[in-house]
Amino acid sequence: MPTTLRPDQVREKYGKLFCQGFFTMVDEENGVAQIIEKCVSRGPVEWDIVNRKRTGGVLKDIRNDGATIIMDALIGEAPMNFGPVSSEMGGQGIYSLLVKGDRVHTKWMGLAGATVGIGACIPQCDDVIETIYPDDFKIGGAHRAEVEIITPKMVRVIVGVDDTDTKEKGASWVTMMKFGRDCPVGRYLDHKIIQLNPKVPNKTTNCCSTAVAFAVRPDEIEKLVDFARKYMADNTYSSETVMTVFEGLRIPKELEEFGWDAKRTIYEVDDALRVAEKCGVRVFEITGKKGTIGAVAAIGCFDLGIRAAGVPEDFV
């Protein structure tokens, strides 16, 4: 008969291990998910990445940022393939990711030493609700094991801002770094500085906007938005501050193109508002309107990696 254990019970059974964070964001409209796993060291992270790539399953991409694993996955089920190499070296992967109400259920399979990660390490992280073990579960050695790890359903929320500073004081990227640190809602994921067209006439100095992302439970999204609006109003120096909000794991192509083109094109506010409405970006006038273009472009550029920080000429 299957056994269900909470994180504290897993720690009691196997001793304290190394997972420092584990949460799952879903984008049900696009049928995709992203799993974030934080470890104490990069070595196990690199090993897990190689072994999970080998097995396939629902994972479509997996990469690391230091000691953090970022996994892009499909919502659904897909067969895994350990192959002849894995039988010699071990392996690990996910063959099912399903959303059930306010929870996400991921089903994992591991061989040999990889069973420790899925059976003892991840399940004891406090971000996990509970883990279901089959009655024949055995860890380590030459065993093949399966577990079902259950986490809260979360979504990615990106908050973009432009025009919080003046030529005399302030910096939008600093304001947003502080906001990400101070926000009591969700899990702070990332911060991006977006370089825009330096030739626009209405700018402070560098012509940059900024955005931050959070993993948030769906019922806390509006709480995050309310906190962000008040935070920007309380901390801006400008009379033209605008904030934008986008929910999801995939930036629409038209929105991404607008963000990239804003690095060399001089747009009007109405141009940004049209793209925002079409692509599901909420726009909030905090103290004015002029920051609309940069705040919308910040969302569009968020997933462009290092290209977000430059202009097209930097990447020729």
* Mean pLDDT (whole number) for 107-114: 83
Least confident of 7-11, 29-33, 168-172, 245-249: 168-172
How confident is the model over 156-215, as pLDDT tens digits? 999 999 988 766 676 889 999 999 999 999 999 999 999 998 887 665 556 889 999 999
Q: How much is the pLDDT for 165? A: 72
Q: How much is the pLDDT for 205? A: 59
CB atoms within 10 A of CB 144: 16
**Rounded alpha-carbon distances, angstroms, from residue 132 to 40, 76, 98, 124, 290:** 24, 18, 15, 12, 52
Relative to beta strand 282-285, strand 32-39 is unpaired
Domains along the chain with CATH numbers: 3-153 (no CATH), 163-315 (3.30.70.2200)
Report pTM: 0.93
**In the block, residue with structure tokens 């192959």:** 83
The number of residues making up the chain comes to 316
Q: How much is the pLDDT for 315? A: 82
- Euclidean distance between CA atoms 11 and 16, whole angstroms: 5
- Euclidean distance between CA atoms 241 and 289, whole angstroms: 7
Percent of the chain, pLDDT > 70? 92
